[in-house]
Chains A and B, each alone.
Chain A
Amino acid sequence: MSSSTAAERGTGPDPAAMAALDSHWAAAPTLRNWFATVDHKRIGRRYLVTAALFFGFAGASALAMRTQLAGPEAGVLSAREYNQLFTMHGTAMIFLFSTPMLFGFGNFLVPLMIGTRDMAFPRLNAFGYWVFLFAGLFMWASVPAGAAPNGGWFAYVPLTDERHTPGLHLDVYTLGLLFLGISTTAGAINFIVTALKLRAPGMSLNRVPIFVWAIVATAFMVLFALPVLNLDNALLFLDRRFDTRFFEPERGGNVLLWQHLFWIFGHPDVYIIVMPALGIVSAVLPVFCRRGIVGYPLVVFSIVAIAIISFGVWVHHMFATGLPQLSYGFFSAASTVITIPSGLQIFAWLATMLFGRIVLSVPFLFVVGFLVTFVIGGFTGVMFALTAFDQQTTDTYFVVAHFHYVLFGGAVFPILAGIYYWLPKITGRMFDARLGRWAFWLVFLGMNLTFFPMHVSGLLGMPRRVYTYSGGLGWDALNVLATVGAYVLAVGLLLVAIGVVHALRRGDPAPDDPWGGDSLEWATSSPPKPYNFAVIPRVRSLHPVWDPATAESTGPGADEDRILAEGRRTLFTSEFDGRPERAVEMPEETLKPLVAAVGLLVLFLGLLFAWYWIAAGSGALVAGTLATWLWPPHRAPEEAGMTT
C-alpha cells in the first residue's frame, strides 16, 4: 500500500498533452454550460444534492407524522393530510431518495473507479438527471396543491381506482413513477455499458471493485424489475382515465394482479436499494481495515445470487391474501434462502475487520452503525419469510420497524458513510471529524430510539398506516419514545448537512488520497479534473492504488493510446478481460438532454391534466429532439477519433 499522492507517483504526460486534454474536456463556466454539461462528476453531484433535498422533504413528512402519533387521538394532522404524507414519505424515500442517491454515487464513482473519463453515454446521463429532477418536482408539487398520492406507496387497487379515489392523487402517482422510470432505466443501461466497455486496460472482471459489481447487478435488476412496475402503473392509469378494467373484479378484472405485478418489482427493489449501499460498505470498510476484503469472489457471488433470487420472493408480501398453501411454501423457502448471501457478506466484513488493522474514522463509524442495525433488520427479515409469523405481524408496526432497520440501517448508514468517505474527493475539502462523530452518535441513537419501539408496538397489535389510535391499548409510551427518537435522528441528520456545508466553506483542502484507499478514484486529484485521468491507468491487481505496478503505468513513458489527448476521447476495452480495443470519441456539452426532459415534463403534465393535444405536441418535440440527438455526425473516420 502506498500513501503517496498521484503527483508523486508520476508526472503523467508532457505539458503539451495536458494542455490539449484541458482544451478538449474543460467547459467554460458559462450559464449555457451549466445546463448543457455532460460531465459525470457534475451530474453525479447533482443527483446527490437533489436526492438529499427530496430526503429532506420526505423526512419532514415523517417528522410531521411522528408528531401526530406522539399521543392518541391527536389533531396535529387530519386523516386526509396524514394519508398523503405517509404515501409521499414512502414513495419519495424509495423512488426519489434511495435509488437516485445511490445512482449519484455510481455516477460520480463508477468512471473513476474503473479508470475512464466519463460514462458510456454522457448525454443520456444528463438526460437521466433532468428527468429525475422533473419527476421529483412533479410529484412533490402535488403536496402543497393538496393532490398528493394517498393510496400508500404500494397503491393497492381497488382503493386506488377512480371510484374510491377520485381526483388527481393517483394520477400523480402513476404518471410520476412512469416519468421517473425513464430516468432510472436510462441510468441502469448506462451503468451496464460503462462497466462492461470502459474499464481501464487490465481490469478484468476479477479486478473490478465490489462497488462497481454492486452497481451493475443493481442496474440489471432495474432493467428486469422496473418494466413490471411501469406496466402496473400504465394499467392503473388506463383504468382510471379510460375506464379499462384490468383491476375491476365486477367486470372481469383482478385486484391481486396489481399486487403480483407491484411486488415482482417491489421485492427486487429492496435489493436495488440495499445492494449499492452494501457496495459502499465493501468499498469503505476494507480501507479502514488496511487490507483487501476477505473473500472477494464470495462477495461477488453473493451479489449476483441476491440479484437473481430476489425475483423469486415477491409473494412473501402477499402471505395474508389467501393464496394457495403450496405457493406459500415455495416463496417462504426462497425468502429464507436469500438471507444466506447476505450472511456471507456480513461475515466477509467481520473477517476483514478481524484480520485487519482498524482505523476508527468517521466513515467507519457509520459502517459499524450499519452492521449493528442491518443485522437486526436481517433477523426480522427471516421472520417475515415464515408464513405464519408473517401473517401475524405483516401490516403492523413490527414490519415498519423491520424495513426501517433494513433500509435505514442497510442503505442510509452506508450512504452517510459514503458521504463522509468521498466528500474529500467530490468537493476537494476535508470535513470536521468532531462534528461527524456527533452526527454519528445522534443518528445512531435517534434511529434506534425511533424504530426499535415499533417492533414492540407491532407485537402489541398496532397496525401501520393509521393516522391515529386509541389510548389505553399499551401503545402510548412506545409512540412517545419513537417520536422523541425521530427528533433526535433529525438533529443528527441536520448535523450531517451542516458538516457538509462547513466542509465546503471552511474545510481544509483535501489531499488526493486522504484515507489510503485502494481503488482508482484515489489516484486522481481531489476534485478530479474534467477528464479524470491524464493517463488512463493500466490495472495490474484488484487494489490498483496499493499496487506500485499500476501506479507506474500513469508515470512518464505511458503509451500514447492511454493518453488520447487529441480530442475528447476515452478507451474501449473488452467486456471480460479488459483488453484495449479502440479509442472512442465522447460527446461535448449539449442542451438536447435538457430539451428532451422538458418536453417529457410537458408531456406528463398534459397527461395529468388531460390536455392530450399538448401531450401529443410535446411528444413530437421529444421525438424531434431525440432524432437530432441521434443523427450520425458527418465526419471523416479519423476526425471522429477512430484509430485505424
Chain B
Amino acid sequence: MAGRGPQIRRRRSVPIPRAVGCGLLLLLCGCAGGAPSTLDPGGVGARRVADFWWLLFWISVAVFVEVMALLVWALVFRRHPRRRLDRSDPVRFVVVAGAGLPFVVLLAVYGLGLRDLAALAQPETPPAVTVEVTGHKWWWEVRYAGVDGATANEIRIPVGEPVRVRLRTADVLHSFWVPQLMPKTDLIAGKIRETWLHAERPGEYRGQCAEYCGLQHAHMAFLVVARPRAEFDAWLARLAEPAPAPDSDAERRGRQAFLQSACVACHTVRGTSATGTVGPDLSMLGARWSLGAGAVPNDGGHLGGWIANSQTVKPGNAMPPQPVDAAALPDLIAYLESLR
C-alpha cells in the first residue's frame, strides 16, 4: 500500500513490494501524485477494498499468464504446415482448465467478497457522529444531526472513529463517493440511504458525485476533512454559532450590500436576515476549499466572477447572474471571504 502522507495534494510514492511486476500499472500509478486513489486508502472501508483489489489483481495476472502462455505456445509451435493434425477431442482438459480450476478460485474469491460485503455494511463500533448529506444539482448540503447550522461541499469528521452519513437527494440521483475512505452509496430519490466513514489518519480526502446527475455532474465534488476529535468538536461548535461579524469598513459595506441584494432569497448567513435555503449556506464560505463544488478555487477573483455570472463558470447551475454594482463588488467579496 502507498505511504501515508497527511495531505491529498502531496505527491506520494508507490512502495516497492506492491509495485514489483505491476508493469504498466506501476508506471501509470507512478505519475499519479495527488490522486484521490482507491489504492491509497485513508479509511477502514477503502483499505479493505484495496487489499481485496491486490488479491484479485494477482489472481488475474496469474490466470492471464496461464492463458497467454497457452496462446503463445500454440501460435509458436502449432504453425508448422506439415504438422500432423491431432483429431482427438481433449474435452477433459477443457473441463478441468476452463471450468474446474476457475470454479475453485471463484468460490474462494466469492467467499472473501461476502466477508467484505458484511464488513462494509456496518462499522465495528456504533458511530457517535451523524452527518446529514443532501445532494442537490450540483452541490452537497452538509448538516450534522442535533446541530443547527449547515455548510456545503465540505464534510468535517473526527479521525479514528466511524461517522454515520445519512444520504438524501433533493432532486435526481447522485452517488456519495470518497475513494480513499469508502466505496460509494447512491442517493435515491424518495428514500434515505446510510453509509459510514472511518478515517484512519487526519487529512483531506476528495470526494465526487459518481452517479450521472445532469449537465454539471462533472462539477459536483466535495472534500472530507478528517481532524482530531478536539479540533472537530471545536469546529462543530462554531458551525452552530452566528457567522463572524465584519471587522473592517469594507466588510461592513459588503454585508450591507449582501443583505440588500437578491442573495438573501437563496442563501443563509447565520445571525443575519439572510435565511434562504435554495443555495448553499454561506456562513463559512471563506474557509471552503472551492467554489461551485470543485468548479474553481475559492479566492477573491473567482468569487467575484462567480457572483457576477456563475453561468460562465459552471453553466446551468441554479444561480442567475447578479447585477452587482462594480464598485460594490470588492466589498461584497471582502465580506464573503471573512465568513470563516
Q: Which residues of B contact A341 (CB under 8 A)?
A: 99
From residue 330 to 378 of chain A, which have CB atoms closer than 8 A to chain B? Answer: 332-333, 336-337, 339-341, 343-348, 350-351, 353-360, 368, 371-372, 375-376
Given A320-B175, A347-B93, decide whether A474 and B208 contact each other with a Cβ distance below 8 A: no
Contact A254 B117, beta carbon cutoff 8 Å: no
Q: Which residues of A contact B238 (CB under 8 A)?
A: none
- The yes or no answer to A14 lying at the interface (CB within 8 A) is no
Contact of A395 among B70, B184, B191 (CB under 8 A): B184
Contact B90 A350, beta carbon cutoff 8 Å: no
Q: Which residues of B contact A382 (CB under 8 A)?
A: 56, 106, 109
| Complex alpha-carbon distance, A356 and B184, angstroms | 48
Contact B316 A343, beta carbon cutoff 8 Å: no
Please tell me which stretch of A386-394, A582-590, A591-599, A618-626 contacts chain B, meaning at least 4 of its Cβ atoms lie within 8 angstroms of it.
A386-394
| Complex alpha-carbon distance, A385 and B217, angstroms | 26
Please tell me which stretch of A43-51, A228-236, A406-414, A459-467 contacts chain B, meaning at least 4 of its Cβ atoms lie within 8 angstroms of it.
A459-467
Contact B35 A291, beta carbon cutoff 8 Å: no
Contact B218 A320, beta carbon cutoff 8 Å: no
Given A159-B172, A351-B94, A388-B52, decide whether A375 and B67 contact each other with a Cβ distance below 8 A: yes
From residue 436 to 483 of chain A, which have CB atoms closer than 8 A to chain B? Answer: 452-453, 455-456, 459-461, 463-470, 472-475, 477-478, 481
Contact A354 B114, beta carbon cutoff 8 Å: no
Contact mask for chain B residues 93-106; partner A; CB cutoff 8 A; 1 contact, 0 none: 11101110011001
- The yes or no answer to A295 lying at the interface (CB within 8 A) is yes
Q: In whole Å, how far is B93's beta carbon from the nearest beta carbon of chain A?
A: 6
Q: In whole Å, how far is B207's beta carbon from the nearest beta carbon of chain A?
A: 9
Contact mask for chain B residues 216-235; partner A; CB cutoff 8 A; 1 contact, 0 none: 11100100000000000000
Please tell me which stretch of A77-85, A102-110, A512-520, A606-614 contacts chain B, meaning at least 4 of its Cβ atoms lie within 8 angstroms of it.
A77-85
CB closest residue in chain A, given B213: A159
Contact B106 A474, beta carbon cutoff 8 Å: no
| Complex alpha-carbon distance, A336 and B38, angstroms | 23
Contact of B94 among A165, A325, A344 (CB under 8 A): A344
Contact B189 A353, beta carbon cutoff 8 Å: no
Q: Which residues of B contact A477 (CB under 8 A)?
A: 28, 31
Contact B73 A354, beta carbon cutoff 8 Å: yes
- The yes or no answer to A141 lying at the interface (CB within 8 A) is no
Contact B188 A474, beta carbon cutoff 8 Å: no
- The yes or no answer to B49 lying at the interface (CB within 8 A) is yes
Contact A392 B75, beta carbon cutoff 8 Å: no
| Complex alpha-carbon distance, A344 and B60, angstroms | 17
Contact of A321 among B110, B188, B209 (CB under 8 A): B188
Q: In whole Å, how far is A102's beta carbon from the nearest beta carbon of chain B?
A: 24
Q: In whole Å, how far is B210's beta carbon from the nearest beta carbon of chain A?
A: 4
Please tell me which stretch of B80-88, B148-156, B322-330 contacts chain A, meaning at least 4 of its Cβ atoms lie within 8 angstroms of it.
B80-88
| Complex alpha-carbon distance, A455 and B210, angstroms | 16
Q: Which residues of A contact B64 (CB under 8 A)?
A: 375-376, 379
| Complex alpha-carbon distance, A382 and B53, angstroms | 12
Q: In whole Å, how far is A465's beta carbon from the nearest beta carbon of chain B?
A: 4
Q: Which residues of B contact A556 (CB under 8 A)?
A: none
Q: In whole Å, how far is B179's beta carbon from the nearest beta carbon of chain A?
A: 4
Q: Which residues of A contact B18 (CB under 8 A)?
A: none
Contact of A357 among B35, B80, B185 (CB under 8 A): B80
- The yes or no answer to B32 lying at the interface (CB within 8 A) is yes
- The yes or no answer to B36 lying at the interface (CB within 8 A) is yes
Q: Which residues of B contact A158 (CB under 8 A)?
A: 171-173, 189
Q: In whole Å, how far is B89's beta carbon from the nearest beta carbon of chain A?
A: 6
Contact of B211 among A156, A336, A368, A474 (CB under 8 A): A156
Q: In whole Å, how far is A115's beta carbon from the nearest beta carbon of chain B?
A: 25
Contact B35 A461, beta carbon cutoff 8 Å: yes
Contact A396 B86, beta carbon cutoff 8 Å: no
Q: Which residues of A contact B114 (CB under 8 A)?
A: 329, 332
Given A344-B95, A465-B217, decide whether A336 and B106 contact each other with a Cβ distance below 8 A: yes
Number of A-B residue pairs, CB cutoff 8 Å, is 288
Q: Which residues of A contact B52 (CB under 8 A)?
A: 386, 388-389
Q: In whole Å, how far is B280's beta carbon from the nearest beta carbon of chain A?
A: 19
Contact B188 A396, beta carbon cutoff 8 Å: no
| Complex alpha-carbon distance, A158 and B31, angstroms | 38
Interface residues on B, range: 35 or more
Q: Which residues of A contact B179 (CB under 8 A)?
A: 392, 460-461
Contact of B116 among A356, A360, A388, A467 (CB under 8 A): A388
Given A357-B78, A386-B113, decide whether A350 and B67 contact each other with a Cβ distance below 8 A: yes
- The yes or no answer to B214 lying at the interface (CB within 8 A) is yes
Q: In whole Å, how far is A230's beta carbon from the nearest beta carbon of chain B?
A: 23
Contact A79 B28, beta carbon cutoff 8 Å: no
Q: Which residues of B contact A348 (CB under 8 A)?
A: 94, 98
The SS class assigned to the B binding surface is mixed
Given A295-B91, A295-B94, A386-B110, decide whether A164 and B184 contact each other with a Cβ distance below 8 A: no
Q: Which of B89, B208, B215 has the most CB of A within 10 A?
A: B89
| Complex alpha-carbon distance, A466 and B94, angstroms | 43
Contact A79 B315, beta carbon cutoff 8 Å: yes
Q: Which of A80, A250, A321, A460 has the most CB of B within 10 A?
A: A460
Contact B190 A250, beta carbon cutoff 8 Å: yes
Contact B79 A395, beta carbon cutoff 8 Å: no
| Complex alpha-carbon distance, A472 and B109, angstroms | 35
Contact mask for chain A residues 316-328; partner B; CB cutoff 8 A; 1 contact, 0 none: 0000111001001
- The yes or no answer to B340 lying at the interface (CB within 8 A) is no
Q: In whole Å, how far is B262's beta carbon from the nearest beta carbon of chain A?
A: 24
Contact B34 A392, beta carbon cutoff 8 Å: no
- The yes or no answer to A298 lying at the interface (CB within 8 A) is yes
Contact of B56 among A79, A389, A461 (CB under 8 A): A389
Q: In whole Å, how far is B136's beta carbon from the nearest beta carbon of chain A?
A: 12
Q: In whole Å, how far is B273's beta carbon from the nearest beta carbon of chain A?
A: 31
Contact A456 B32, beta carbon cutoff 8 Å: yes
Contact A388 B117, beta carbon cutoff 8 Å: yes
From residue 237 to 262 of chain A, which have CB atoms closer than 8 A to chain B? Answer: 249-250, 253-256
Q: Which of B56, B63, B78, B189 has the most CB of A within 10 A?
A: B189
Contact B99 A344, beta carbon cutoff 8 Å: yes
Contact A321 B186, beta carbon cutoff 8 Å: yes
17 contacts between A and B (CB under 8 A): A164-B137, A295-B91, A320-B185, A321-B188, A322-B186, A322-B191, A346-B98, A347-B98, A353-B74, A388-B48, A388-B120, A391-B120, A396-B210, A459-B37, A459-B39, A460-B179, A478-B32
The chain B residues found within 8 Å of chain A, CB to CB, are 9, 24-25, 28-29, 31-39, 46, 48-49, 52-53, 56, 60, 63-64, 67-68, 70-71, 73-75, 78-81, 83, 85-91, 93-95, 97-99, 102-103, 106, 109-110, 112-114, 116-121, 137, 171-173, 175, 177, 179-180, 183-186, 188-191, 193-194, 206, 208-218, 221, 294, 315-316
The 4 closest A-B pairs by CB, nearest first: A249-B190, A474-B35, A347-B98, A391-B183
New A-B pairs, 10, CB < 8 Å, besides A340-B106, A354-B74, A465-B212: A79-B216, A151-B212, A156-B172, A320-B210, A336-B109, A360-B79, A375-B63, A375-B67, A388-B117, A456-B29
